[in-house]
Structure 1
Amino acid sequence: MPWDSDIDVQMSVSTVHYLASYYNMTIHRYQARDYMLEINPKYTDGSFEDKLNVIDGRWIDIQTGLFIDITAIRPKKGVKGVVVSKDKQEAKIKDLFPLRDSLFEGHSVKVPYNYAKMLSEDYGNKALTKTEFAGHKFNATSMEWEKLE
């Protein structure tokens, strides 16, 4: 999305723990580029109090500095079947899994099982059909958002 400067992913806190234990601060080469995995040492703190540490990790392109934010989701205390991240985003496990295969900007990705319901709940029903937003128009032929002149 041209108006959003980064990409965000969520994963279970147990997966973030695994990455922190074995791969934190390591460099990975992919298609002739280097990426560093950086896990925030505060990823284990699931409280909502520290608003400066809601990002639990990042995949960083060493050449450009661009990054993908990683946030951990963990079971919500006292609520069965719901997970929550430190920025208070909640999801029902039955809406997340099983993940579906999809395409994002030409790349294979996994998306939540009930993505349409989740997007409607977070952004309203028009989020799924609106073709103009933030000074851009969606081109259905190229499947891209283009800046309005």
Structure 2
Amino acid sequence: MHFVDDARFAKRELSSPQRHTALENLVRTYLATLDDLGIETWLMHRALLGWWWGKHVLPSDLDLSVQVSEPAIFFLAAYYNMSTFSSKSADTSHRRRYLLELSPYAKDREHRDWSNAADARWIDTESGLSIDVYAVRYNLTHPGGEGMLSCKDGSEIKDTYLFPLRNTTFEGVPAKIPYRYEELLVIEYGADALKEIGHNDYHFDHDDMRWVLKEKLPANAEGSQKTVNHVGAGEL
């Protein structure tokens, strides 16, 4: 089972726009806080795909995954487990509190908690939404040979695909992404995921660089272009 809303803090059901806004604030505060702590973290999986498409959280996402190094998760476990951080929302003057919670098995290389593989979670204590934080660890016995990294979410990656990390922005704040980000996205989601501008009920708006509901588009906008080249990075 993969938890989306933390039942300890989810006091009411949020509408889709409310969830999306809360998730935007969640990732901004996570990235800014870890930067303040001197911890290197980077976008992966759906967060990285959202970065590709305009450097924003995808509208259909309910949570996000990010990664840190093994030494970083050790440092967070030693000094910041169950720490709370306060931040003012970008859209209002309201301040939200966020909890950094480490798994009891964060320092273990083995996957022991089958209900949730994350090594840590960054939790919005108002909505219960969270970001899953995974440590990548060198796997010295991996059949792929030297330089292979493993993660408790089941992903594996060659260190040359990941490092050196690239500097960029995500949701308006500094962020980092893997060095060979495009190849990783194609491996995980396929080449079409990086080109098709129509997905379910959404269409990519080039002017705003965001996914919008098709019903909100001008009458002839959807058919103007079915695919697009790289729009997410522009300049990193």
Common topology (TM > 0.5): yes
Shift of 1:50: 4.6
Higher share in strand: 1
In the comparison of the two structures, how many residue pairs are matched? 149
Aligned residues of 2:101 and 2:121 also touching (Cα < 8 A)? yes
Tell me the CA shift for residue 55 of structure 1.
1.0
Unaligned segments of structure 1, at least 5 residues: none
Q: TM-score, normalised by structure 2?
A: 0.59
Of the three residues 160, 167, 176, the one matched with 1:94 is: 160
CA distance in 2, matches of 1:143, 1:51: 38
Name the TM-score, length of structure 1 as normaliser.
0.90
CA RMSD in angstroms, aligned pairs only: 1.7
Does structure 1 residue 39 correspond to structure 2 residue 102?
A: yes
2:75 counterpart of 1:18: yes
Q: Secondary structure at the match of 2:115?
A: helix
Q: Which has the larger radius of gyration?
A: 2
Runs of 4+ in 1 over 4 A off after TM superposition: none
Structure 2 letter corresponding to 1:86:
K
Separation (CA, whole Å) in 1 of partners of 2:130 and 2:100: 10
Once residues 28 and 144 of structure 1 are traced to their aligned partners in structure 2, the CA distance between those partners, rounded to angstroms, is: 29
Q: Distance in 2 between matches of 1:130 and 1:15?
A: 36
Higher relative contact order (CA 8 A, sep 6+): 2
Query: Structure 1 residues 76 and 134, CA, compared in 2 at 3 Å: closer, same or farther?
Result: farther
Q: Identity over aligned residues, as a percent?
A: 38
> Amino acid of the residue matched to residue 119 of structure 1?
L
Give the AA of the match of 2:133: I
Match of 2:139 in 1: 76
Shift of 1:48: 4.5
Which blocks of at least 5 consecutive residues in structure 2 are unaligned? 1-57, 89-94, 216-236
Equivalent residue for 1:133, pick from 199, 208, 215:
199
